[in-house]
Amino acid sequence: MDTRIDGARLGGAVAIVLKGYPRLSETFIAQEIRGIEQRGVDLRIFSLRRPTDRARHPVHEEIRAPVAYLPEYLYREPLRVLRGLVTARSRPGFGAAARVWLKDLIRDPTPNRIRRFGQALVLARELPEEVAHLHAHFLHTPASVARYAALLLGLPWSCSAHAKDIWTTPVWEKREKLASCAWAVTCTRCNQEHLSRLGPGGERVELVYHGLDLERFPAPNIERKARDGTSPEQRVKLLCVGRAVEKKGLDDLLASLARLPSALHWELHHVGGGVELERLRRLTRRLGLAPRVHWHGPLGQVDVLRHYAAADLFVLASRVARNGDRDGLPNVLMEAQSQRLACVATRVSGIPELIEEEETGLLVPPRDVDALANAIARLIVNPELRALIAAAGQRRVREAFSFASGVDRLASRLRPEANVAPETARSCAPA
SS3 per residue for the chain = CCCEECCEECCCEEEEEEEECCCHHHHHHHHHHHHHHHCCCCEEEEEEECCCCCCCCHHHHHCCCCEEECCCCHHHCHHHHHHHHHHHHCCCCHHHHHHHHHHHHHHCCCHHHHHHHHHHHHHHHHCCCCEEEEEEECCCHHHHHHHHHHHHHCCCEEEEECCHHHHCCCHHHHHHHHHHCCEEEECCHHHHHHHHCCCCCHHHEEECCCCECCCCCCCCCCCCCCCCCCCHHHCEEEEEECCCCHHHCHHHHHHHHHCCCCCCCEEEEEECCCCCHHHHHHHHHHCCCHHHEEECCCCCHHHHHHHHHHCCEEECCCCCCCCCCCCCCCHHHHHHHHCCCEEEEECCCCHHHHCCECCCEEEECCCCHHHHHHHHHHHHCCHHHHHHHHHHHHHHHHHHCEHHHHHHHHHHHHCHHHCCCHHHHHHHCCC
Nearest to 389, CA basis, from 313, 306, 305, 311: 313
pLDDT of residue 4: 42
Q: Which residues pair with 206 in a beta bridge?
A: 185
Least confident range of 83-92, 164-173, 202-211: 202-211
Q: Over range 245-252, report the average pLDDT.
A: 97
Chain-centroid distance of CA 204 in Å reads 20
pLDDT of residue 8 exceeding 50, the answer is no
- Residue 24: band (very low, low, confident or very high) from pLDDT cuts 50, 70, 90: confident
Q: Tell me which of 122 and 5 has the higher pLDDT.
A: 122
Per-residue pLDDT of 30-59, as tens digits, reads 999 999 999 999 999 999 999 888 888 899
Is residue 396 a contact partner of residue 239, using CB atoms and an 8 Å limit?
A: no
pLDDT tens string 361-376: 999 999 999 999 999 9
Give me the mean pLDDT over the 2-23 stretch.
Answer: 71
Mean pLDDT in residue range 156-170: 95
Sheet holding 157-161, edge to edge: 67-69, 43-49, 13-20, 131-137, 157-161, 183-186, 205-207
Instruction: Assess whether pLDDT exceeds 70 at residue 227.
Output: yes
Q: How many whole angstroms separate alpha carbon 111 and alpha carbon 235?
A: 51
Q: Domains in the chain, start-ordered, CATH in brackets?
A: 4-211+404-428 (3.40.50.2000), 232-401 (3.40.50.2000)
In angstroms, the CA 97 to CA 120 distance is: 10
Above 60 in pLDDT, residue 346?
yes
Burial 364-374 (b: 16+ CB within 10 A, else e): bebbbbebbbb
Mean pLDDT of 114-133: 97
In angstroms, the CA 366 to CA 373 distance is 12
pLDDT band at 419 (very low <50, low <70, confident <90, very high): low
Q: How confident is the model at residue 5 (pLDDT cuts 50, 70, 90)?
A: very low
Q: What percent of the chain clears pLDDT 90, i.e. is strictly above it?
A: 84
The tens digit of pLDDT for each residue in 369-404 reads 999 999 999 999 999 999 999 999 999 999 999 888
Q: What is the pLDDT of residue 416?
A: 60
* pLDDT one-digit tens code per residue, 347-358: 999 999 999 999
Q: What pLDDT, on the 0 to 100 scale, is given for residue 27?
A: 87
pLDDT surpassing 70 at residue 417 = no
Mean pLDDT of 305-332: 95
Q: How many CA atoms lie within 13 A of 420 on its CB side?
A: 6
Work out the mean pLDDT of the chain and round it to a whole number.
Answer: 92
Task: State whether the Cα torsion 279-285-288-293 is positive or negative.
Answer: positive
Amino acid letter, residue 272 = G
CB-CB contact of 256 with 335 (8 Å):
no
80-89, 102-111, 124-133, 419-428: least confidently modelled range: 419-428
pLDDT band at 11; cut points 50, 70, 90: low
> Residues 399-422: what's their mean pLDDT?
80
Looking at this protein, which amino acid is placed at residue 49? R
> From CA 347, how far away is CA 428, in angstroms rounded?
45
For 99, other C-beta atoms within 10 Å of its C-beta total 12
User: Which tens digit of pLDDT belongs to each residue from 256-314?
Assistant: 999 999 999 999 999 999 999 999 999 999 999 999 999 999 999 999 999 999 999 99
Report residue 293 CA to chain centroid gap: 26
pTM: 0.82
| 8 A C-beta contact, residue 143 and residue 24 | no
Dist. CA 77–CA 63, nearest whole Å: 27
